[in-house]
Homo-oligomer: A and B are copies of this chain.
C-alpha cells in the first residue's frame, strides 16, 4: 500500500498493482502534461497535470463503485481505467489534440496495446474490457466516459481549485450517492439538482476558463507552430503522444523563422490581437460554424493575409470549441421511467440555447497589422455552410 497526497481529495491509497501501473513511463509522462495547456498564462495557478487528474479520477471511480455496490474486481478494474484514461493525451492536452486527426482516446487504446501496459493489465483483467470502458462503452464505460462521469467530476473540481475560479465547485457527493447501475448508469431523481448544477458549472467555466479569450489566442498561435512542425516532418503526428510539454517546448525553441517568432511572441506576451469576433448566437444557424471544412479555413486565412498584406500564416481563424454539454443527456430515473435530464429540467433546457451565448468565431493577427483590418470585410472570405 502506498499513499499519494492529493490537494483536492486528500490521502489516496494505491495497492501494488496500481503502483505498477502508475510507475510506467506512459503514466509518469502525464506528470509533465499540463491539464489545461496554456491556461497557466491567464490563471497563474493552473499548472496542474494530467497525472493528478488521473489519480483523482481513480479515487472518484472507487467511491462511485462502492455506492453502486460493485464487487472488488470491478472496482479495481474501474480504478485501473481511470489511471489510464488520459495516457493518449499529447503535449498541453487539448491544445495539441486540436491539430490532430486522431483523438486522445484512440491513442490511449493504441498505447495500452503496444506497451508493457497490456502485460501488466493482463495479469488480472481482460485488457480489451479495459479499453472498452475507457472508450465509454457499456454501462461501466459510462462511469469513466459518459454523460456525468468521474473524469468530468474530477476536472471541474480540480480546475476550480487551481484557477481559483469557484464556478467549478460541484456537489460530487450528492451526485454519486444518487447513482445506480442498471442497463445504463442512471441518476436518481433526487440527484437532478446536483446534475443541473454540474452542467451550470461547466457552462460558467466555459467562457471564464476553458474558452477564455486570451487562452484561445495563445492556443491558436501554438497550434500554428505545431502544424508547421508536422508539415516540416520534425514531428510525426502519429507519434505526438510520445512527447511531453518539455519536449515540444524544447523543439519549438530550437527552431528558426516563423515557429521561433510565434513562440517568442507567446513567451514575451506579445499576443495576436482579435480583429473579428462573430457571436454564434447572432447567427441564424450557429451549428453551421462547426461544419466549415478545414481546407476552407486555410484557404480563407491565405486569402485574407494576401488581401491585407500580412505574412502568410499570420492570420488565424479560430473556430470555438463546440459547446456540447453532454450532461444534458444524463439518464434520470423518475418513478418507473428513464428520461433524459434535458426533458425534466427547465434550466437544462434553457442552457441548450444559452450555450451559444459565449461562443464566437474569432480572427487574430499580429498587433502590428491590426490597424489595417479596420473596415475589412472578413466575412466575405468565409463560406458558412447552411
Please list the residues of chain A having a beta carbon within 8 angstroms of any beta carbon in chain B. 3-8, 10-11, 23, 25, 28, 31, 34, 40-41, 43-45, 47-49, 51-52, 55, 161-167, 169-171, 173-174, 177, 193, 196-197, 200, 203-204, 207-208, 245-247, 249-250, 253-254, 267-269, 281, 345-347, 349-351, 353-354, 357
Contacts and interface: CB of A to CB of B under 8 A. Distances in A.
A25 B193 CA distance: 33
A8 to B, nearest CB: 8
Copies of this chain, how many?
4
A161 B45 CA distance: 11
Q: Which of A7, A10, A23, A170: most chain B CB closer than 10 A?
A: A7
Q: Is the interface of A mostly helix, strand, loop or mixed?
A: helix
Contact of A5 (B43, B249, B347): B43
A45 B346 CA distance: 31
Nearest to A251: B250
Contacts of A5: 43, 45, 163-165
B4 A44 contact: yes
Contact of A31 (B3, B23, B44, B345): B44
B253 A25 contact: no
B41 A52 contact: no
Contacts of A4: 44
Nearest to A56: B44
B48 A52 contact: no
A167 B195 CA distance: 12
